[in-house]
Chain A
Amino acid sequence: MRAPGDLTVRVPEAAGELPTPPREHPEEPAAENELFMHLEPDQFVVETSRPVMRARLNRRAIAALWALRVFAVAVSAMVIYTFVSQLH
């Protein structure tokens, strides 16, 4: 049964890539169909495999990100240098 407002997707057995075991009682709804009703449409692997659009960053944001990156690398290098010098 589908709850009111439920946005999940019904998956006919023929479309799936999974092998479908033979049914003993064809008149009953297939258990595997019922199972896929509980994933949201954008939750399927085929949907999440599609890349999201690139964000448009302005120049200031890009410059700030690069500044932060350079700073983090520089401080990391200092920490590693200190670590190595303390070993000797």
Chain B
Amino acid sequence: MAATQATRAPVLLPPAVTPQDAARSSDRSRVHHARLGGRRWSLLWLLVGPGILAMLGENDGPSMIAYASDGAQYGIGFFVPFIPVLFAMAFVCQEMCMRVGAVTHRGYGELVLQRFGPVWGWFAAGDLTLTNLVTLVAEFVSIRVGLAYFHMGPVVAVALGLVLVVFTFSGGRYWRWERIVLGMALFNGLFLAAAILVKPHVGAIAGSLDFSPFPGGSFNTLLLLLASTIGATVTPWMIFFQQGASADKGMTPRDINHGRYDTAVGALLAAIFGVGALIAGAALLTHGGAGIQGFTGAAFPDALRRVAGGAAGAVFALGLIEAGAVAILTISASTAYAAAECVGVAHSFNSSPRQAGLFYAANFGIALVAALVILIPGAPLLAIALNANVLATVLLPVSLVFMVMLANDSGLMGRFANRRSTNAIGISVIAFVGVCGAAYGIDSFLLATHVIG
């Protein structure tokens, strides 16, 4: 009988083990021992990553320029409370991504493709590739603008971005990739330093918490501000990235609470640093600041230097370099996850480039294409940077709808499926983002075609 039982122990039989499993299991063993040993902070340190990276990665070059432009044109009123509200919305969306990734151990792209069919999967991947390519161009523009402050040219910007992408690949480990990018992402705090350097009026910041004064200007400008600010906070790549990274990290349902802390800390830091960029930009408001268009590009750090000193300008320029560099890494990674998941091949930083050729090729390839665009003489780089967030906002509702459907799928999620309250908030977020994006798109189109004046 005992012998029969021994032969009937299928749960102990191993599945085929790959090097990817070995690497992930090594990371999980540390989590396991930290949990068993009751080492809370060690456990938190081991489990944070995807949430903070998604949130701080979204505080990218065009986003920080958008926040600073808001401040320069309208001051801090309305936007100081509005930015944290947007990041609260982002938390709701990203928590779902983390939870689905931890429960299913699969990325967003492959789940949409397998659960809803290849048409929807490839549509999602197509949307992502389009928005990511445009956004990556804007990230290289951001690095270029930051480096221009220090009298360095576009070739240095391209080389810096691409070398970073290749450098983070080395080692063939998710953990290593995550920690390098996490270390870089913390320098997003440079925008907070820039805000302190412009010596803002603390009373004015506290007084702006009542969402007033509401920004004036034309209806279309207001819609542009809303659409670009939303696009600076929640985007399709974040969905692909956090779910894919949570699965790649090896998170499990037991880690969901820590995943929530990770996402919440990321949202909090991103909101603080985003408000920092807004306050730094607002220093230009009382010094004859021009419109949004005038402040994008190389003019921003220079303008800040003139009104708040060289240190503020330099810190802001360094912040733009950091924001662009981190976003290049995270956005390229989200493209790689999407491409390899949809094709159905290896999609993990725990695999070597030889084992996951498409994953690494897509990761580097999209960064390379974006880098080449900024070297084209006369390319409309600043216009691309401005429109990157808006395009992301317009395409975001589709990704969010599938995200909510996956998070509600009891067949996949079991007892970890969405609650009614989460659904209510999620659907409200989708409706808000959809209305703002569509309103700007339609109004701008009607203006451009002279249907309305």
| B445 touching A78, Cβ below 8 Å | yes
Complex: how many Å from CA A40 to CA B378?
Answer: 53
CA distance A57 to B115 in the complex (A): 10
Q: How far is the CA of A1 from the CA of B123 in the complex (A)?
A: 47
Min CB–CB distance A40 → chain B (angstroms) = 6
Interface residues of B in 391-420 (CB under 8 A from A): 391, 394-395, 397-398, 401, 405, 409, 411-412
Most A CB contacts (10 A, CB to CB) among B12, B29, B31, B111 go to: B29
Is B25 touching A35 in the complex (CB atoms < 8 A)? yes
Q: Mark A15-39, 1 if CB is under 8 A from B, else 0.
A: 1111000000000000010111111
Contact of B445 among A34, A40, A82 (CB under 8 A): A82
B118-155 CB mask vs A (1 if < 8 Å, else 0) is: 00100100010000000000000000000000000000
- Chain A residues, CB < 8 A from B21: 36, 39, 43-45
| Cβ-defined partner of A55 (8 Å) among B116, B398, B444 | B116
> How many angstroms from the CA of A52 to the CA of B346 in the assembled complex?
17
* Interchain CA distance A36-B17 in the complex, whole Å: 9
What separation, in Å, do the CA atoms of A46 and B21 have in the docked complex?
9
Contacts of B412 in A (CB 8 A): 52
Contact B14 A48 (CB under 8 A): no
The count of A-to-B residue pairs whose CB atoms sit within 8 angstroms is 147
A18 to B12, CA, bound (A): 18
Whether A76 contacts B25 by the Cβ 8 Å rule is no
A residues within 8 A CB of B383? 83, 86-87
Q: Residue B117 at the A interface, CB < 8 A?
A: yes
Contact between chains at B117 and A54 (CB < 8 Å): yes
Q: Are A17 and B391 within 8 A (Cβ)?
A: no
Q: Are A51 and B441 in contact (CB under 8 A)?
A: no
Contact mask B335-371 → A, CB, 8 Å, 1/0? 0000000001010000000000000000000000000
Q: How far is the CB of B24 from chain A (nearest CB, A)?
A: 6
Question: How far is it, in angstroms, between the C-alpha of A23 and the C-alpha of B390 when the chains are bound?
Answer: 59
Which residues of chain A have C-beta atoms less than 8 A from B447's C-beta?
Answer: 82
Task: Give Cα A14 to B314, complex, Å.
Answer: 58
Contact B398 A11, beta carbon cutoff 8 Å:
no
Is the Cβ of B394 less than 8 Å from the Cβ of A72?
yes
Once A35-B26, A38-B28 are accepted as A-B contacts, the answer to whether A12 and B252 lie under 8 Å apart by CB is no
Roughly how many angstroms separate A48 CA and B437 CA in the complex, as a whole number? 35
Asked if A76 and B395 sit within 8 Å, CB to CB, the answer is: yes
Inter-chain contacts of B405 with A (CB < 8 A): 55
A residues near B394, Cβ cutoff 8 Å: 72, 75-76, 79
A65 to B440, CA, bound (A): 22
CB <8 Å contact, B437 and A38: no
| Contact call A87/B22, Cβ cutoff below 8 A | no
Given contacts A48-B105, A69-B398, whether A55 and B24 have CB atoms under 8 Å apart is no
12 residue pairs from A and B, CB less than 8 Å apart: A9-B12, A17-B18, A36-B21, A37-B29, A38-B28, A53-B115, A53-B411, A55-B405, A57-B116, A68-B398, A82-B448, A87-B380
A-side residues, CB < 8 A to B, are: 3, 9-12, 15-18, 32, 34-49, 51-55, 57, 65, 68-69, 71-72, 75-76, 78-83, 85-87
Add 5 more A-B contacts to A16-B16, A45-B18 (CB < 8 A): A9-B11, A55-B409, A65-B116, A71-B438, A78-B444
